[in-house]
Chains A and B, each alone.
Chain A
Amino acid sequence: MAHLGDKLAEYFYEELSSAEMAEARKHVDACKECRLEFERFERIHLALRTAPELEPPRRVVFSPLARRSWFSWLEWRTAATASAAAALVAGVVIGFSHVDHNRVIDEARQSDRAWLVEELNKRDAEIQRLRGELTYYENFQRAVMRETLENGSAIQLLAQRARLQQ
């Protein structure tokens, strides 16, 4: 086998196939040059690894809006409007037909309810998405404010230096 060359890192991190690993191991055992290269690589890897991991100063905050029960939404304006619309539709149907009125009302209520649930689910998802966006922009705003403060202090320092030079 030729020298390890650019396969050294893959050999060190054991990312070669098992056959290649075996061949490389055999070669390193026999080749002084490759063994020295390997040891140099290992030394720098280990030197870096002496630096311990850091604990994040705080936890990442993520709190999506808790899903509300279907009934809690009934107090909402949309629900009222939808109910009024459903009543109107039912009234029209009752007024202009001679079929089973109770059945028509039931059907209208059911379709209205399904529509309402779908709409509320969509709103729920949208609110969750917006909360994520809001957190993102709050962080962005903090970053801009911090940068502004840094720029401000840099300008002050420059002004001070300019005054001293005059």
Chain B
Amino acid sequence: MKTEDSKVIERVLDGDSEAFNLLIRRWERPIYNFIVRMIGDRNEAMDLCQDCFMKAYRELRTLKDRDRFSSWLYRIAHNACLSQIRRNHGKTWVELDPDWGTAESPLENRLAVEKALAQLPPDQREAVILKVFQSLKFDEIAAIQDAPISTVKSRLYMGFEKLRAILG
């Protein structure tokens, strides 16, 4: 059975470009949240999110398995994030909240988690984000990271170990 995404993709490829907006509305929030957790800067994340969808539209014909559109989109976002992280290399993270250890409100929790995630290497951070927040399957994460499932699991375990030490 065809997924909702693949039906929409068929329409777009048949010339109904407007239908691409359906894919955007469905995926912009998860992709934005993935990017913002990866790179930390909300405005940059929004620009990257926009770029990802433009790239996806331009390259939609190259998508081989239309039932795996979301994994393909995350893969585009993954590449965009890694490029951005390389560009930002050397920039220091701003201390958002020095008392994150006593976080209680949702805002404080978010800041504490963002800060903790920022301390992980990008591949571990990504594995944690894709699993915990985006709820992707291990094989989907493996396709996005272009790594074996065992590597993805190792990254998740190592990430969790470090986060445990940071968050207490």
Q: Contacts A40-B164, A136-B55: A48 and B29 contacting too (C-beta < 8 A)?
A: no
The 3 closest A-B pairs by CB, nearest first: A64-B17, A51-B113, A51-B110
Provided the pairs A45-B132, A62-B24 are in contact, do residues A54 and B54 lie with their beta carbons within 8 angstroms? Answer: no
Asked if A57 meets B51 with Cβ closer than 8 Å, knowing A51-B113, A133-B58, the reply is: no
Q: Nearest CB to that of A46 among chain B residues?
A: B132
What size tier do the contact residues of chain B reach?
35 or more
Task: Report yes or no: B51 in contact with A136, Cβ–Cβ below 8 A.
Answer: yes
B6 within 8 A of A: no
Distance A53 CA – B107 CA, assembled complex (angstroms): 10
Does A41 count as interface, using CB distance less than 8 angstroms?
A: yes
Contact of B153 among A6, A43, A45, A59 (CB under 8 A): A6
Identity of the chain B residue whose Cβ is nearest the Cβ of A64 in the assembled complex: B17
Kindly state whether residue B49 has any CB partner on chain A within 8 Å: yes
A29 within 8 A of B: no
Give the distance to chain A from B87, nearest Cβ to Cβ, in Å. 7
What is the total number of residues of chain A having a CB less than 8 Å from a CB of chain B? Answer: 41
A62 to B49, CA, bound (A): 12
Which residues of chain A come closer than 8 Å to B133, judged between CB atoms? 48-49, 53
List residues of chain A with CB within 8 A of the CB of B114. Answer: 51
Q: Check A132 against B54 for contact (C-beta < 8 Å).
A: yes
Interface of A is mostly: helix
Measured between beta carbons, the chain B residues less than 8 angstroms from A55 are 29
A58 to B112 Cα, complex, angstroms:
24
Contacts of A9 in B (CB 8 A): 131, 138, 153, 156-157
A60 contacts B53, CB within 8 Å? Answer: yes
B33 interfacial contact with A, CB 8 Å: yes
In the docked arrangement, what's the CA distance between A92 and B70, Å? 57
Query: A50-B106, A51-B114 are contacts. A132–B58 as well, Cβ < 8 Å?
Result: yes
A53 to chain B, nearest CB (A): 5
B156 touches A54 (CB 8 A): no
Is A99 close to B, CB under 8 A? Answer: no
Q: Which single residue of chain A is at the shortest CB-CB distance from B132?
A: A48
Contacts of B112 in A (CB 8 A): 51
Interface pairs (7), CB distance under 8 Å: A47-B113, A48-B133, A51-B109, A57-B42, A59-B24, A60-B24, A61-B50
Chain A stretch 96-155: residues in CB contact (< 8 A) with chain B: 125, 128-129, 132-133, 135-136, 139-140, 142-143, 147
Q: Closest CB of chain B to A34's CB: distance in Å? A: 14
CB within 8 Å for A62 and B21 given contacts A54-B32, A135-B50? yes
Given contacts A48-B133, A48-B163, A56-B28, contact A64 B33 (CB under 8 A): no
Beyond A9-B157, A15-B138, A139-B54, whether A50 also contacts B24 by CB under 8 A is no
Closest-by-CB residue of B relative to A49 is B132
CA distance A65 to B17 in the complex (A): 8
